[in-house]
Structure 1
Amino acid sequence: MINPIPLYQKMYQEMGPQHWWPADSKMEIVIGAILVQNTNWNNVDMALTNLRDETGLNVKQILNLSVEQLQSLIQSSGFYVNKSKSLRAVLSWFDEHHCNFSQMVDTYGDQLRETMLKLPGVGEETADSLLVYVFDQPAFIADKYARTLFTYLGFRNLKNYHKLQQRIVLPKMFTYQDAQEFHGLIDEFGKKYLKDRQQFNDSFLVDFDKSSLNTRARSISDQN
């Protein structure tokens, strides 16, 4: 099992706080998390701009769009037929709960993640992203950058999301704010240093002690 806190501490020390997610509201995060699958953020940004201009990102207004209208507005994000179906299903779920995020946490409790995974087009990465950025719950987002980073640090058999996510053990003191920062740090680090092994070798983590990830976490309260 992997205790990632020493890595988080090192990255935070070197890079500082990221306050990461390009969105102005939690509902924009929800929509973006669906649209960003299998594409880059520039394409998502165009789709979000179209939706914002047409609906103000109002859930009910989006749900009132025709299938053809919605597909046209999000076409730039790619796979727009499937994404329109997923977006409708996910937004309908939120609409049923009046987009009351804290109440949804209370309603579903420990089953919140599993409930989201049953929604069309919601996989583990999307579910964990929503847990962290929308529902304010601590979770580790084991995206491609994270899997590459831990592989370069010397961990094996991390070929898919589930394999890394299941090996990460977060301490009780790890908050959703920590989870947001950690994800932001990893993704910003990834853009600079995880294109290939040579880039990583030029980074401040090249000599990071992997064994520290198997030790008991130190306090991180001073980083928040």
Structure 2
Amino acid sequence: MTSVSIEKLYTYLLQEMGPSGWWPGDSKLEIILGAILVQNTNWSNVDKALTQLQLATGFDPQRILRLESSQLEQLIYSAGFYKNKALAIQAVLNWFQEHQWKYSHIVEKYGSDLRIELLKLRGIGQETADVFLVYIFDQVAFISDAYARKLFSYIDQKDYKSYQQLHAVVQMPESFTYLQAQDLHGLIDEFGKNYLKDPVRMERIAGEVKK
């Protein structure tokens, strides 16, 4: 297991940086789209694609699904890998459509197997599945993305190269709420963007968040 206390890490980051307000988006559909589009790119490219989608469809899932594949690809072009991402968007929106967009019913139906079901969807890997769990289905999960792996690698003095390597050693506290899980992911990413290359800040956080 990791030497990092999730409670201490969250408390430290919250005190240092304040609430993250993450994930950006005015609706769960926008978050779903953003989580797919952000794969292998940066958020500024995603933001451009989301703006185009909103202008063309008003983020209406029916209108998005009625688009020709070529139209959808053109709208999300700025996010890169647009052909694969268009196919993923269509597959994921169709899946939610089959479940009538009833998020709580989906949780009830699949229970602890929900992550497994999400991983069956085209274009949904482990990170995106966990993002969906935390931000769409309001579940407590840890998102061991690149920033998290770099932070935990520094603190634990281990090289967490893969998503699964870190995911397997982090256990979320039973007392943690989904809102805290949402904020924790945002805080880790914001800290990573700003301080991963700052030896003083890295040494300080390592000394504060161990069990």
TM-score bin (small chain)? over 0.9
Alignment of 1:29-44 (within 5 A): 29-44=31-46
Q: Which residue does 1:141 correspond to in 2?
A: 143
Match of 1:94 among 96, 110, 114: 96
CA–CA separation in structure 2 for the residues paired with 1:110 and 1:100: 17
Matches within 5 A, 1:101-180: 101-180=103-182
- Superposition TM-score, scaled by structure 1 size: 0.89
1:212 shift after superposition: 5.5
Aligned-pair Cα RMSD in Å: 1.4
Q: Which runs of 5+ in 1 are unaligned?
A: 216-224
Instruction: Indicate if the aligned counterparts of 2:91 and 2:122 stay in contact, CA closer than 8 A.
Output: yes
Identity of aligned residues (%): 51
Deviating above 4 A after TM superposition, structure 1's stretches of 4 or more consecutive aligned residues are 209-212
What TM-score do you get using the length of structure 2 for normalisation? 0.94
Q: Within 1, Cα distance between the matches of 2:173 and 2:106?
A: 24
Distance verdict in 2 for CA 1:60–1:22, change over 3 Å? same
Give the structure 1 partner of residue 194 of structure 2: 192
Q: Is residue 202 of structure 1 aligned with residue 200 of structure 2?
A: yes
Q: Conserved in 2, the CA contact under 8 Å of 1:132 and 1:179?
A: yes
Whether the aligned pair in 1 keeps the contact of 2:31 and 2:135 (CA below 8 Å) is yes
CA distance in 2, matches of 1:94, 1:88: 10
Mark the runs of 5 or more structure 2 residues left unpaired by the alignment. Answer: none
Deviations 1:56-113 (A, max 9, x none): 1111111110011111111111000111111100010011111111111111111111
Asked if the contact 2:147/2:192 (under 8 Å) is kept, the reply is yes
> What is the deviation of 1:210?
5.7
Aligned residues: 209
